[in-house]
A and B are shown apart, each in its own frame.
Chain A
Amino acid sequence: MATTMITTLDRSSRAAARGLSDISIRNLFIIPTVLFLIVFNIFPLIYSLGYSFTDFRASTNAPANFVGLQNYRDLLNDPYVWSNFAITAKYVIVSVAGQLLVGFGVAMLLNRDIPLKGLITTLLLLPMMLSMAVVGLFWKLLYDPSWGVINYALGLGNFEWLADPKMALYAVALTDIWMWSPFVMLLSLAGLSAVPKHLYEAAAIDRAGPFYTFFRITLPLVAPILMIAVIFRTMEAFKTFDLAYILTSQPTAELISIRLYKMAFQEWQTGRSCAMAYIVLIMVLAITNIYVKYLNKVKER
């Protein structure tokens, strides 16, 4: 079975002349990659699983003691950690929903013949190409209550975007929406341009209204590609760190990755932070699985 999947080697090729078989060429390409993955991904992953059951601290010479499930029990009983998870969930929902709305909306607007379409699309893609840290620093200035452009333009006076405990998280989400809507837009544009034109013509002949056309033709056909955008953005939003870390220090905007960073690299609670990383990993896996199942369903339709 496996051999049928490999394209057979051209007998006149140089590789064949050197006496390399199909299988040895396959191994030549795959084994280094697999080794690399094992050394740098799989091994640390398993090693840190071991650490998550100990009280190990990388900053001391004290030996690691096995503590069983103590770390997991403490973390899941810690109200601060739960609040970090709730904040992260809120952030993911707001930011991904915002990106979908804005990104898909802009794609709908661009999906027609307008002058300078190429230039406009390219310019709209710029935010996505900036570094997260740079975007964070820029938006910190834009949000500044004393001299920021946003308050000036909206006439909000001294409104404290990042210092207000209720607003800070939304301010970070807004920045994320600004930065990543172009990504959703790009994928949506690809999806929209792939919708066969004859379907719209048929709908027009049947005198279908714009809403009917949108919900019965456009959305179902673009849905699979939108789902891919949602999966990517959810995973990214779940692990957002730099943007939120630079923009605000409000506890109401402390995402799970920031808590994890502090625990691992400021407090050096290595064992406990490994346990926390595993909890986060399991959550991301679960959410992604649900999405993938749904994506497959959408594709079947």
Chain B
Amino acid sequence: MVMGATASKLEKALGDQFPEGERYFGLENFGNTCYCNSVLQALYFCIPFREQLLEYYSNNKNVAEVDENLLTCLADLFNQINSSKKKTGVIAPKRFVQRVKKQNELFRSYMHQDAHEFLNFLLNELVDILEKEGNDINDSPGTSSQAEQNANGPVHLRENGAKKEPLLTWVHKSFQGILTNETRCLRCETVTARDETFLDLSLDIEQNSSITSCLKNFSSTETLNAEDKFFCDKCCSLQEAQKRMKIKKPPNVLVIHLKRFKYIEQLGRYKKLSYRVVFPLELKLSNTVENADSEYSLFAVVVHVGSGPNHGHYISLVKSHNHWLFFDDENVEMMDESHVQTFFGSAQEYSSNTDHGYILFYENLSVGN
């Protein structure tokens, strides 16, 4: 009943603007599990990801207890929220959190954890499970109850045998982008390009800068010389070279991690950078190989609250159906869009403001066009 009272507050605030079929649920904290809760909320409101996961759930309803894994636990949790009769409330992600702790000893303690590390672990784990399932299906054709996963291009996968290409799962389809590392030998001018995939971009940050500027720095040209020369295949020797990273394929969901936790050698420990880094609600990538100009829109922010890396709290800001919501473990509140700017950081080092945007989630608006 107590929950009912807080729940109705949000429902009242939204009134008849409460989006149809949408659910806003807080997540219970089991002792420093806010790193997990904040990331889960951001992922739940990543609509392509949620839809795929719910579809996975309906295709795998009858999985026996023994086959339980992180993916089925997450699918269960999302389904529990999505199919709830009530529009708002609190859910305890107990099974999911237990599974995380079972799987990875890093997250087993009650210590403060890094939300970005958790996101990384979770996405990679999901990819592993899906790839494994995809391969199993291919090894035993005919039993495919999941036709759409076969459609993900597994045909040549069998032909190539051991040297098979990795399966492109729906997790990849949402989050994966391709970076190309272009190195130009300053002697022969040959450009060597090497591609690598990413699920998120980790950016170095500077005081009083913008995400646009951090992305520019990420792609800025670096000269390899002195100790750090480049082995040019054409010159067959070490040469001075210029290197730069460009985005070859922009992802559908762009996850940007701000490197706010920096290792300070003199101190022998990590320190939190409270720099003010402004992030616009709309963004375009200018560091692409083709001038694609695809436009992104911010839909979630994981915020680190606190002055140091080893303690503090995580909350998340989420945009759903043009409303901004504030998720703090069990609590869910409406939030004005203009309030997002209070999470940019501090323009000066010592400030009472310790709530800083840490992981940004942007969706590509041109997807499907």
Partners in one complex: no
Identify the A interface with B (CB < 8 A).
Answer: none
